[in-house]
Structure 1
């Protein structure tokens, strides 16, 4: 049996009282209806860790996000120089606003991905922006667990509210703009596998309205309805729930978005967020930048696996000098290759589980194209979990290798998504295309 990592603690929260597996599964299937959720198996309890472990995960996430922002902004005095440093396709970044807004808000919301390595959290990447997946799932799962475990008003864990933290961000930005509290959610159901209606967006709209905001969801083709008689956009702040690449894939015209920006809507997170999330920036801070302090370098060494931007160049790994391509070929089982821009596990190859020939071809391409990062592989630590298919016979304790996704909004903890395979295996863990189950992490 695989040992459980001590970071996760030893106190297992019991399943909710007075509710059997059939009702538990039915409760989550109903709560998560039409937001993209496979309810064939559900967790029997949230992943509960010691308060100190949860605090470490969130504080390290916020600090790493701030460091990546610093590294991106230091790469050049403006957007053109920063895009050149990253060698990105400028056509994928057409929605910039003014420099002050871009720099101020580019790291306002993010979800790192982390595993628990031998010494604790190790961050594999940092997804930055309003379109980061799993946010609604995290909010609904956390809220549902809180309701199920409530006992006389007391809940035996601390779970952060992602919607509440985003609401506080929107409120602060509206106040800074001197505007009435109003938020437009801009996205499309076409981006959400298995989703038919707009409930995924409506849940947050309803939350904002309950707290005194004017709020509305817009599909891109309906965005013109957001403009008032004077031509100004009626909502001062928007949640940018899309990426340019996805919308171009769907054939969606970005001109209405540009018009909303030019007519007074500040979309969060702004375009620069998608430069901060480029994995090359992660490689920069892993390798070290001249301006980094000793404390910053120590922090990176502690929490970030060895990560390097691919190219035909020399690197130092574990005290020895190698050509990067040579190192990756000789030590395939020790590394992961990732495209610098990608999501949902696309463009990721795990050396330990990739055939040598496939790996060699990918390494050669990555070195030539210089569009990826190589990262030292971290085997995820394991912890206890419970699963049920809604029957007594199908309810069991198990061991999983979770991928943790702590949300950070305006520097504050905002909930934590957990993705894992029911089998306990590790690998490329994604809700979309890889069959991962989801839960949330809470602090005891």
Structure 2
């Protein structure tokens, strides 16, 4: 999928005069609106993709999100699926409080690696609760494209999935509000963030929504008030909320309070208030075990041949470690001794995590730490996943050197339609901005003939 000719050519041109490339990049960043929550040095490097494979992947990504939607339906109707996830009573109530027809993954960022050995894009996790990058990724792409224009780099026709309109996500939220029956004149939209930790991207989104005519504001989920059919936050009514509180923090802030769970159940059941993404997306599709459910032999009859083929092509081998729900020969899970002995072949993931803190890579984890995590994962239901060696890309760094880095390739799918690509790069095993990584631009170029 990587266009190595254009990626290599661009890298060579940037490396020819790195100080000029970095200076032009700094000028574009200074002229741009904010484009990151956590500081990292934006590189003028870009990962170029070939158009035809990118288009083929876009169709697979849309089909995969449709499969996640099906999983939400199964969760409501199938007690064995519910037992597999083993969610809390509060999570169960919140999922069931909303209308089943709204239980879909409206906003998704599907994160993956291009397998170093095969070049295939492998999906590693689903970001289906509050995926970041909806505003900042287009801004990064815009800034880097401007740098390339100024430096005279040839990026090809660049007409497929440019993903440079930073207002696209705000427009999506407005469209969702109107589809739900919100008055078109000035929909009232709350962007949920803890009051003590509002992110820059959320603040920027509120400003965009206001510029587009919405009554938008930041709100803390603990300030929820429900009076009859009206849903408010600290006295401010809302027709729709974009819940930017990740599931780990949501569990701490909301699930820990029975009164808040009651209030949120009333809000979700009111019929006049739309919560994006749905609670099913947040608790089921976001859950790392979702990647195991669709591969577990015990659930094979829930999916058709096309869905099995999609899973086989996209997902690395993944299983639940939960004792009594995901363990044993029936699920195709190795025993504990084998998992310990083959640690370099696996990655261990908590069901929900933030910033990569809940991910352990066996090849870089001390043996006693790995053993303790495997034992805990059996009790609490962690995901055991095949380690996928990521492809790398040369990245021009702020000191003027070009460094080979592992890269992710992330797919944004909004309202069922593929929107564009994002990427992160790092020299560490966990390719995450909060683990020392950075974001890089992705450009889809016309295929060379």
Q: What SS is found at the alignment partner of 2:141? A: helix
- Spell out, residue by residue over 1:172-219, the C-alpha distance to the aligned partner (whole angstroms, 9 max, x if none): 441342632525132236675xx7xx75324223333444x3131223
Give the alignment partner of residue 114 of structure 1, picking from 112, 115, 122: 112
* In 1, Cα distance between equivalents of 2:251 and 2:293: 29
Q: CA deviation at 1:407?
A: 1.3
**Equivalent residues of 1:286, 1:307 under 8 A apart:** yes
Superposition TM-score, scaled by structure 1 size: 0.80
The structure-2 alpha-carbon separation of the partners of 1:400 and 1:238, relative to structure 1 and needing over 3 Å to count, comes to: same
Where structure 2 has 5 or more consecutive residues not aligned to the other structure, the ranges are none
* In 1, Cα distance between equivalents of 2:73 and 2:228: 38
Matches within 5 A, 1:212-227: 213-220=213-220
Q: What SS is found at the alignment partner of 2:339? A: helix
The structure-2 alpha-carbon separation of the partners of 1:83 and 1:183, relative to structure 1 and needing over 3 Å to count, comes to: farther
Superposition TM-score, scaled by structure 2 size: 0.79
Give the alignment partner of residue 6 of structure 2, picking from 11, 18, 30: 11
Q: What SS is found at the alignment partner of 2:410? A: strand
- Cα root mean square deviation, aligned: 3.7
Matches within 5 A, 1:331-410: 331-367=342-378, 369-387=379-397, 389=398, 394-410=399-415
Q: CA deviation at 1:91?
A: 2.7
Aligned partner of 1:414 in structure 2 is: 419
* In 1, Cα distance between equivalents of 2:370 and 2:221: 42
- Spell out, residue by residue over 1:92-133, the C-alpha distance to the aligned partner (whole angstroms, 9 max, x if none): 566447553x4434211111110001331001111102x223
* In 1, Cα distance between equivalents of 2:338 and 2:292: 16
* In 2, Cα distance between equivalents of 1:260 and 1:36: 30
Matches within 5 A, 1:114-133: 114-117=112-115, 118-119=117-118, 120-129=120-129, 131-133=130-132
Q: CA deviation at 1:86?
A: 1.1
Aligned partner of 1:237 in structure 2 is: 240
Aligned partner of 1:3 in structure 2 is: none
Q: CA deviation at 1:83?
A: 4.5
Aligned partner of 1:429 in structure 2 is: 431
**Equivalent residues of 1:69, 1:107 under 8 A apart:** yes
Q: CA deviation at 1:166?
A: 5.2
Q: What SS is found at the alignment partner of 1:74? A: helix
Q: How many residues align?
A: 415
Aligned partner of 1:292 in structure 2 is: 303
* In 2, Cα distance between equivalents of 1:223 and 1:203: 21
Q: What SS is found at the alignment partner of 1:272? A: helix
Aligned partner of 2:287 in structure 1 is: 278
**Equivalent residues of 1:92, 1:244 under 8 A apart:** no
- Spell out, residue by residue over 1:340-384, the C-alpha distance to the aligned partner (whole angstroms, 9 max, x if none): 2223212211111112222222222222x1511111111001223
- Greater share of residues in helix: 2
The answer to whether the aligner puts 1:175 opposite 2:182 as a matched pair is no
The structure-2 alpha-carbon separation of the partners of 1:277 and 1:34, relative to structure 1 and needing over 3 Å to count, comes to: closer
Where structure 1 has 5 or more consecutive residues not aligned to the other structure, the ranges are 1-5
